[in-house]
Amino acid sequence: MLIRIQPDQIDVPLPSEITPREIFESRRHFLKELAVGAIAGSGVLASAGAWAQVAGTRKLAARRNDSYVVVDKQTSYKDATTYNNFYEFGTDKSEPARNAGILKINPWTVSVEGEVKKPMTLDLETLLKLAPLEERVYRLRCVEGWSMVIPWVGYSLSALIRKVEPTGNAKYVEFVTLADKKQMPGLSVPVLEWPYVEGLRMDEANHPLALLTLGMYGETLPNQNGAPVRIVLPWKYGFKSAKSIVKIRFLKEAPRTTWNVTAPSEYGFYGNVNPDVDHPRWSQASERRIGEDGFLARKRKTLMFNGYNDVAPLYAGMDLKRFF
Ligand SMILES: Nc1nc2c(c(=O)[nH]1)N[C@H]1C(S)=C(S)[C@@H](COP(=O)(O)O)O[C@H]1N2
Ligand SMILES: [Mo]
């Protein structure tokens, strides 16, 4: 299948637009309020672990799939592994890289259950061999107003879905991620409901762009990027791309999803990238590309579905202002 991806567009910053820094600060401020001071002064997040052993990753053989490669310049490995959202390891962008080193990813299993004819528990080696590994270079746009371009390694989630044979009742897929207080200092802070849970409608999950992801930059995933297995959904805001998945459940009804439950007026179930639907507290019309900081920083226009127009038929006839 040929995937058409719009090239990126560089825009001149509008003075009226709030800066990414402000966006970042305001989201953090909001979360602190939610936690009713639980973060402030707790010292919990600052205490754990040393710098993560990104060196603990290993090479993965993958064939580049050129149908899924954006033309944009790739984000540097350093930026992609040190500027992360992974609240289980802290809410600051630098904390996952510092704290996730202690996460034990071997052994690891993913239990696939619910409305399927063949429920199964898959270990990592089985997951790595379930389908041929592909390299795909995707844009990922965070809801906070920044984006990256990352060469992921994995295969379409649909390959796994086929294996477990969903029943006719399966209308949604839920991704449940690891929640282990012993390994994840962020769980002591009630910023979000743990475990972090995300979900998709079945047709979204079966779209070839939905990537079951086991690596990046030719290697297994660093812990801060969601080792050993995560999902990447390039047409949706980054929060939909759940990290360190332990359970995939097929459901009749839509699952509760973490950000939607936390702030329903700000984060919808769909989370599709949409420059025409602002976040209640900031514009979504443009974004900052990580790595283009300082005087080289330029604002880029955010594209509908992050430029992945092939997904548009999934939402035909839906009011995307209502189903955001
Ligand atoms: N389990 C879990 N998954 C998560 C998150 C999280 O806090 N916990 N953050 C999400 C958000 S907001 C973003 S933008 C992406 C960031 O992925 P990256 O660090 O690999 O760029 O991960 C998503 N997946
Ligand atoms: Mo995000």
Pocket test for ligand 1, best of 239, 245, 266, 284 (most atoms within 8 A of CB): 239
Q: Is the CB of 88 under 6 A from ligand 1?
A: yes
Q: Residue with the nearest Cα to atom 16 of ligand 1? A: 85
8 A C-beta contact, residue 28 and residue 91: yes
Per-residue pLDDT at 33 exceeds 70: no
| pTM score, whole prediction | 0.87
Residue 85 near ligand 1, beta carbon < 6 Å: yes
Strand partners, 236: 272
Is the CB of residue 260 below 6 angstroms from any atom belonging to ligand 1? no
The whole-number pLDDT of residue 294 equals: 73
- Write down the pLDDT at residue 6: 75
Instruction: Report the pLDDT value the prediction gives residue 56, as an integer from 0 to 100.
Output: 78
Measure 260 CA to ligand 1 centroid, in angstroms. 14
Q: Is 284 in the pocket of ligand 1 (CB under 6 A)?
A: no
CA dist 95 and 92 (Å) reads 5
**Residue ranges of domains in the chain, CATH in brackets:** 7-309 (3.90.420.10)
Distance in Å, CA 230 to ligand 1 centroid? 9
Model confidence at 324, pLDDT cuts 50, 70, 90, reads: very high
Q: Between 204 and 18, where is the model more confident?
A: 204
* CA distances for 51 relative to 56, 97, 221, angstroms: 12, 6, 16
Q: Ligand 2: distance of its center to the CA of 86 in Å?
A: 9
Torsion of CA 93, 96, 97, 102, to 10 degrees: 170
Q: Which ligand is nearest to the CA of 259?
A: 1
Q: Whose CA is nearest to atom 23 of ligand 1?
A: 239
Task: List the residue whose alpha carbon is closest to atom 7 of ligand 1.
Answer: 86
198 lines ligand 1 (CB under 6 A): no
Nearest CA to ligand 1 atom 20: 225
Asked if residue 86 has its Cβ within 6 Å of ligand 1, the reply is yes
CA of 173 from ligand 1 middle (Å) equals 18
Instruction: Give the number of the ligand closest to the Cα of residue 290.
Output: 1
Dihedral over Cα of 114, 115, 117, 123: its sign: negative
Per-residue confidence (pLDDT) for residue 10, from 0 to 100? 62
The predicted pLDDT at position 125 comes to 96
Q: CA-CA distance, 284 to 301, in Å (whole number)? A: 9
Pocket test for ligand 1, best of 23, 27, 85 (most atoms within 8 A of CB): 85
Counted residue by residue, the chain has a size of 324
Percent of the chain with pLDDT over 90: 80
Is the pLDDT score of 22 beyond 70? no
Burial (CB count <10 Å: 0-12, 13-18, 19+), residue 119? middle
d(CA 237, CA 143) in angstroms, rounded, equals 5
Beta-bridge partner residues of 150: 138
Say yes or no: CB of residue 243 within 6 Å of ligand 1: yes
**pLDDT tens across 47-90, in order?**
333 333 365 799 999 999 999 999 999 999 999 999 999 999 99
Q: What is the pLDDT of residue 45?
A: 33
- 314 with 204: CB under 8 angstroms? yes
Asked if residue 146 has its Cβ within 6 Å of ligand 1, the reply is: no
Alpha-carbon distance 122 to 43, whole Å?
Answer: 37
Q: Please choose from 231, 243, 246, 290 the residue to mutate so as to test ligand 1's pocket, defined by most ligand atoms within 8 A of CB.
A: 243
Q: Is the CB of 258 under 6 A from ligand 1?
A: no
What's the Rg (C-alpha) of the chain?
Answer: 19
Side chain identity at residue 14, one-letter code: L
Share of the chain above pLDDT 70, in %: 83
CA 59 to chain CA mean position, Å:
22
Burial class (CB in 10 A: 0-12, 13-18, 19+), 280: exposed
Average pLDDT, stretch 249-267?
97
Cβ proximity of 303 and 273 under 8 Å:
yes
Q: Which of 23, 79, 86, 220 to mutate to test the pocket of ligand 1 (most atoms within 8 A of CB)?
A: 86
